[in-house]
Structure 1
Amino acid sequence: MFLSIIIPVLNIEKYIKRCLDSVLEACFDDCEIILVTGASVDKSNEICDEYQSTFSNIKLVGQNGKGLSNARNCALDVAMGKYIVYIDGDDYVDSELFRKLLETLRATWNDMDLIATDFRRIAVSSGKSDKIENVYQIGRNTEPQYGIGYLSTMLQKKHCFWNVWRYIYSREFLQQNNIRFVEGKFSEDIDYTTKVLIARPKMVFVHCPFYYYSIGKGDSLMDCPSYKQLRDTLEFLCNSIRMLEKSSFMYSQILIGQYQFEYILNIAIIKEVPKEEIRKARLLYKETLEILLVGSDLTAHLVKRILHIVPLSMFAEILHRLKLFRRFIKRGSGKKQRGEYLDDNH
């Protein structure tokens, strides 16, 4: 089996057909699609049953727990492909680009552990045309770049690099390094990608933005962040920074700086959690601010000094207003909002 495509399915009846149709159009005969079904209350599971009865390369797996991480781990336990791709069931792929990427993977990159790609964000608008934003960290005119050293160039453009669906993974590499998803938490991609990169995969970077990541559907976890989501995100950011600090990975400082930047952006969430959770959110940040002193990132050190002078609540208000202003400007210019600050996975 060449490829296993892992798609968790939970209450996404409006989107799963589009996802499956786009993937099926790109697949070879030796590609399996693993649909991991949970306790959906809509018709998602019935739709999966229909597709499984029609297409022999679709495999249905029931979750033995809850959450996105558990769904992915359940699929990893039964996957047979040499390579693994993660796709969220409310997203979809450019079938032509995805197929070309897989053809090149088979012909040229079949000894690689990890393939990194660019992607596109799509803002779903009710009654209007969807807005698409290209997220190009590798670059349209860039030839495939071999070796993990290109990571430093890719990360000069500050976008989320930890989304697991923008990579193709060698299953053997994941097994050898015992890399799995932490269950029961949000923002699990941060931890997963940190462990993948620290394991020093043999890597190629290729533009090929085959993945369409959907936001703004109105049912996103990020539309109304909770204290738990913020806590889990900060926990993974801080743990990843500490993990990188202790590792001998040559690009640790770059990744630490990226995670610290995300930590700073998420301060705005203090103004977005439910009112009864604001106090806990402020306390959580006060308990973890020392993480900004790890490494050599000047921005992180500067923000830590500023927060000795400026109250955390005031700093959060400033970031929150800047975030709202940025969204307003992007809407006015016809561009899609970024859909951050909490983890960009869901």
Structure 2
Amino acid sequence: MSQSKDSKALSNKHPPLLSVIIPVYNVEAYLERCIQSILKQNYSNLEVILVDDGSTDNSWDICKLYKSRDHRIIIIQQTNAGSSVARNTGLNKASGDYIAFIDSDDYVKTEMFQTMISYALTNNLSVVECGLTQSNKAKELSPYNHKCFIETQEEAVERLIREKNWSVWRRIYKSEVIGDLRFIPGKIHQDVFFTIDVLNRVEKQGYIAEPFYIYNTENESITRSPYNMKKLAAKDAPYYVFERTQHHNLNVRTLASQYLIRTLLSHYDRLFSHSYLDPDYTYRKEIKSEIIDQLELKYENNSFYALLAKYSPFWFYGMILKLVALRIKIRLMLLKR
């Protein structure tokens, strides 16, 4: 990617306004780091929308403090309703030409928005995605990664299914592409639904490999908490991916089916290790039936465990999982010697 070419794209036009939407909930330990990383961007035409989702710590006070320091900051406080609703509140308030989402415990590199908006303008793109890294690896980053490319809709969807890169905070979006699209309240994997819907509205998207986004690994969230029934309900996300990719080529449809089966197997396996959640096998019977339905679609879904789940009685499948877990445990013990 040519930095001079992208800089020229910005200098020849009035810099578009970028609305950065940040849902905030009990993140006083990380919020200032997040806000500062945005205010220090070398792209300055921003409005930063902080939506406090009923925090009970000092997060709201931090929002008010930064509002008093920088006129670009807009603060909104609402009763706790979840990050989906907070993001929607931000979308309803946003007036930017482009939209970006940042999670309040994460932070971004100084060059992120300048580089992404420049690339979008240079190549007439409505969506641009960047790379990410984890906060515990941020200091290990190599020099600037210049790899970037433009993908067709199918190419982008195929890569996302392979890499499972659904997070909305690694992209900028032209406001007109989002339009009336909103996040679904209460969804654990809300980003999956939103990302698929956005990509189905564009013919192409840009990708910049540089890990501009720093994902926080220190703060526990619901997606990293112990397995529970709310997580089981999240299997509707891969179903949505499967359903919304049926107009694509055979390769994409096959990947979507494989992705769905892998997710179903993950829930199936976890219910065996958390059998108290499913004492009468109700949910495992349901998932087994869903796996069989996918296998009958005749895609290249020759997963050993999918076939094992299809043909094995529950007691046998559970025994295999215990033997595999024991084998892994023994191997780890031997490696520590």
TM-score band by shorter chain is 0.7 to 0.9
Identify which of 125, 139, 144 aligns with 1:112.
125
Counterpart residue identity of residue 156, structure 2: L
Tell me what 1:237 maps to.
238
Q: Report SS of the residue matched to 2:235.
A: helix
* Aligned residue pair count: 311
Tell me what 1:159 maps to.
163
RMSD: 3.6
Conservation of the 8 A alpha-carbon contact between 1:113 and 1:201: no
Tell me what 2:266 maps to.
265
Tell me what 2:12 maps to.
none
Tell me what 1:189 maps to.
191
| CA deviations over 1:234-254 (Å, ceiling 9, x no partner) | 112223312323xx2344444
Conservation of the 8 A alpha-carbon contact between 1:227 and 1:281: no
Change in Cα spacing, 1:195 to 1:149, as seen in structure 2 (3 Å) is: closer
Change in Cα spacing, 1:72 to 1:99, as seen in structure 2 (3 Å) is: closer
Tell me what 1:42 maps to.
57
TM-score, length-scaled by structure 2: 0.78
Conservation of the 8 A alpha-carbon contact between 1:114 and 1:167: yes
Q: Report SS of the residue matched to 1:12.
A: coil
1:63 shift after superposition: 3.3
d(CA) in 2 for partners of 1:133 and 1:197? 32
1:49 shift after superposition: 0.9
Tell me what 1:173 maps to.
177
Conservation of the 8 A alpha-carbon contact between 1:81 and 1:171: yes
1:293 shift after superposition: 3.1
Counterpart residue identity of residue 270, structure 2: I
Conservation of the 8 A alpha-carbon contact between 2:150 and 2:206: yes
Report runs of 4+ in structure 1 exceeding 6 Å deviation. Answer: none
Q: Report SS of the residue matched to 2:26.
A: coil
Unaligned 5+ segments in structure 1 are: 123-129, 333-346
Change in Cα spacing, 1:308 to 1:257, as seen in structure 2 (3 Å) is: closer
Conservation of the 8 A alpha-carbon contact between 2:18 and 2:47: yes
Identify the range of structure 1 (21-30 vs 307-316) with the bigger mean alpha-carbon deviation.
Answer: 307-316
1:284 shift after superposition: 4.7
Conservation of the 8 A alpha-carbon contact between 1:2 and 1:30: yes
1:184 shift after superposition: 1.7
Counterpart residue identity of residue 68, structure 1: S
d(CA) in 2 for partners of 1:276 and 1:209? 39
Counterpart residue identity of residue 265, structure 1: S
d(CA) in 2 for partners of 1:31 and 1:16? 18
Tell me what 2:248 maps to.
249
Tell me what 1:226 maps to.
228
Say whether residues 1:84 and 2:105 are aligned partners: no
Conservation of the 8 A alpha-carbon contact between 1:164 and 1:189: yes
Q: Report SS of the residue matched to 2:55.
A: coil
Q: Report SS of the residue matched to 1:261.
A: helix
Conservation of the 8 A alpha-carbon contact between 1:29 and 1:57: no
Counterpart residue identity of residue 43, structure 2: F
Change in Cα spacing, 1:212 to 1:277, as seen in structure 2 (3 Å) is: farther
Counterpart residue identity of residue 50, structure 1: L
Q: Report SS of the residue matched to 2:51.
A: strand
Tell me what 1:62 maps to.
77
1:9 shift after superposition: 0.2
Identity of aligned residues (%): 24
Identify which of 205, 208, 211 aligns with 1:206.
208
1:165 shift after superposition: 1.3
d(CA) in 2 for partners of 1:221 and 1:143? 30
Say whether residues 1:51 and 2:66 are aligned partners: yes
d(CA) in 2 for partners of 1:198 and 1:134? 35
Conservation of the 8 A alpha-carbon contact between 1:289 and 1:304: yes
Unaligned 5+ segments in structure 2 are: 1-15
Tell me what 1:314 maps to.
318
d(CA) in 2 for partners of 1:194 and 1:152? 8
Identify the range of structure 1 (269-278 vs 66-75) with the bigger mean alpha-carbon deviation.
Answer: 269-278
Tell me what 1:125 maps to.
none
Conservation of the 8 A alpha-carbon contact between 2:261 and 2:291: no
Q: Report SS of the residue matched to 2:244.
A: helix
d(CA) in 2 for partners of 1:152 and 1:221? 23
Conservation of the 8 A alpha-carbon contact between 2:54 and 2:80: no
Conservation of the 8 A alpha-carbon contact between 1:268 and 1:319: no
TM-score, length-scaled by structure 1: 0.76
Say whether residues 1:25 and 2:40 are aligned partners: yes
Tell me what 1:144 maps to.
149
Change in Cα spacing, 1:265 to 1:277, as seen in structure 2 (3 Å) is: closer
